[in-house]
Structure 1
Amino acid sequence: MKRLLSLSTLLLAPLAFAQPGNPLEGDWTLLISGNYGKLQELAPAPTLRIQGKQLSGFSGCNRYSGTFSAKGTQFKVNPLASTKMACEPRPSKTEQAYFKAMQGVMRYQVSNNTLVLYTKGSGMLVFTRNPKIEAKTLNTAPEAAITSVAPDTQILLVGPKKVDCTGMVPMKCLQVRTPEQTNWEFFYQSIEGFAYEEGFTYKLRVRVEDVKNPPADASSKRYILVEVLEKNPPK
């Protein structure tokens, strides 16, 4: 639950071209998008994987894939292909907004573990790099291979609404606390497998795993839903 860089710090930071290999490559999750000053979260959060000149990911509704070209800081996404699964209105709206923005990307910036794709005008898509989880051994079940230490579990209480917070960029954070705590804390990351619905309070059992060698601006912990113990409607 650590605070990350502000958006102004991010955009003024030097470009990370000195990194070994291609700094674009890897797995990314969209934090916010829109025009500067009117940035918003898209939910479910789209993802982006870049390998060579190939890109793929989750649009919020469907899986997609395609190619891109990059020269210097210029970046152009070629027409994308996607699956055709029907979704609820909110994921469908997320997908439409994401695809429209992606097809309008003109340039990019990589700073530390943040990727910003700039679209026409003042539009942008701000991604954070996903931590690379290394398997301890080969040929083992996925659940047992994603952490270098034995997983731990804990109980988290989740508040009924997200609140404004400033991490790497202005964003909306869950409010969480343990049963022993009285004050809510900002939760700057996601709980994998947890489908949050605003207006409800939750009591969750989560598995907490150490991330081996996390990026400097990322959490050293990974939270995975084990069980929803309580889901209480608005009073």
Structure 2
Amino acid sequence: MRPPSRSSLILFAAVLLAGCASTSSTQTTPGSVPMTQDSTPLVGTDWRLVSAPGTRAGATLSGAGAATLRFEADRFSMRGPCNRHTGAWSRSGDQLRFGGEGGAVAGTKMLCPPEIMARETALLAAMQQPLTMEFEGPFLRLVAGDGSAWRFDSRDLPPAEGRERIVQVAGQRVPCTGAAPMLCLQIRTQPGAAWQAHYGEIEGFDWQVGVEYVIRVREYTVQDPPADGSSLRWVLEEVLERSP
């Protein structure tokens, strides 16, 4: 079994990440008026990350691995993809800088699944250099020098149906009996808890024998399920971790 620190999605340890970047004399003051092509004010808006380099097409970044970026008059804050971050910011035309003379970027340090940590590490690395802002209606794109881009949405997240759950899935199935004998997935929602048989499949989930997963699913209630069927329906939203 993997160490709890890998399969557990939240381990808190407060720490500050110091980083300092110089600002040029051509920069405007933090919180300056957004560019004319910007239909949504940059300051005071919650910008929700909806696309990042490496995410598969159509993947949702809500729940685990999500991020929300917000600019205030002299500081920014960001929740996610794993940790919380804050610091100074400034802009000059379409160029955006994080950190600098107004205050270094600082953040918490939590352990998250490798896919989420990689997403956060890439974003923080990009934030150490000037990023180009591109506005597309309600969307904001931050583009790094190598062309990597992060897309944010200023619109509120529509109410989601169903319930979001984080589930660990074992690498071996076990015999179980529904309408007839079959092999069931083994799942648990707490690291170290006893495995439980999951009657039914997880839609969109390509399970492989010998591989252990941490996944995010959306749970729906099935109205009038068949006598041999489950009253719950699980649909895969994202694979957060897999091993080996």
Give the TM-score range, shorter chain: 0.3 to 0.5
More strand by share: 1
- The structure with the largest alpha-carbon Rg is 2
